[in-house]
Amino acid sequence: MIDIQPDISLSNYAEALRKGKVIAFPTETVYGLGADAWNADAVARIFHLKGRPPDNPLIVHVNSIEMAGSLAAEISEDARRLMNRFWPGPLALILPKRPEVLDIVTAGLPTVAIRMPDHPIPLRLIEEAGPIAAPSANTSGRPSPTRVEHVRQDFGAEVPVIEGGSCQYGLESTVLDLSIRPYTILRPGHITQSELEQELHQPVRLISSHSTNFTDLSGNTPRSPGMKYTHYAPDARVRWMQPHELPLPDDLTRSTLYLLHRIRPNSAPYPETDQLIHYRENYTEMGRDLYDRFRMADLNRFAEIAIEPFTDSNEAVEALLNRIRKAIGD
| Residues in region 161-200 near ligand AMP by CB under 6 A | 172, 175, 186-187
Dihedral sign for Cα atoms in the order 139, 12, 126, 104: negative
Round to whole Å and give the CA distance between 139 and 160. Answer: 15
Binding mask 87-126 for Mg ion (x = CB under 5 A): ----------------------------------------
User: What are the backbone dihedrals phi and psi of residue 277, each rounded to the nearest 5 degrees, phi first?
Assistant: -110, 135
Residues 145-164 that bind ligand AMP (CB under 6 A): none
Residue 309, Cα to own-chain centre: how many angstroms? 22
- Residue 58 CB, nearest approach to ligand AMP (Å): 6
Among 136, 184, 192, 322, binds ligand AMP (CB under 6 A): 136
User: Which among Mg ion, ligand AMP, none contacts residue 293 (Cβ within 5 to 8 A by kind)?
Assistant: none
Question: CB of 207: closest distance to ligand AMP in angstroms?
Answer: 11
Q: Tell me whether residue 55 is exposed, middle or buried, using C-beta atoms within 10 angstroms of its C-beta: 0 to 12, 13 to 18, 19 or more.
A: middle
Q: b or e along 124-151 (b: 16 or more beta carbons within 10 Å of the residue's beta carbon)?
A: bbbeebbbbbbbbbbebebbbbbbbebb
Q: Which of 107, 52, 309 is closest to 224 using CA atoms?
A: 107
**Residue 161 pairs with which residues in a beta bridge?**
24
For residue 137, the minimal CB distance to Mg ion (Å) is: 9
Q: Which residue is nearest to ligand AMP (CB)?
A: 226
Judged by CB under 6 A, does residue 39 bind ligand AMP? Answer: no
Interatomic CA distance for residues 255 and 305, integer angstroms? 9
Q: Which of 26, 34, 57, 120 binds ligand AMP (CB under 6 A)?
A: 57
Select the residue interacting with ligand AMP from 69, 160, 225, 247 (CB under 6 A).
225
Q: Is 136 in the site for Mg ion (CB under 5 A)?
A: yes
Residue type, 156: G
Only one of the segments 83-91, 200-208, 222-230, 258-266 lies at the binding site for ligand AMP (rule: CB under 6 A); that segment is 222-230
Is-contact 274 297, C-beta < 8 A? no
Scanning 68-76, 130-138, 154-162, 241-249 for contacts with Mg ion by CB under 5 A, the matching segment is 130-138
Q: In the bound complex, what is the minimum distance in angstroms from residue 128's beta carbon to ligand AMP?
A: 22
Q: Which residues bind Mg ion (CB under 5 A)?
A: 135-136
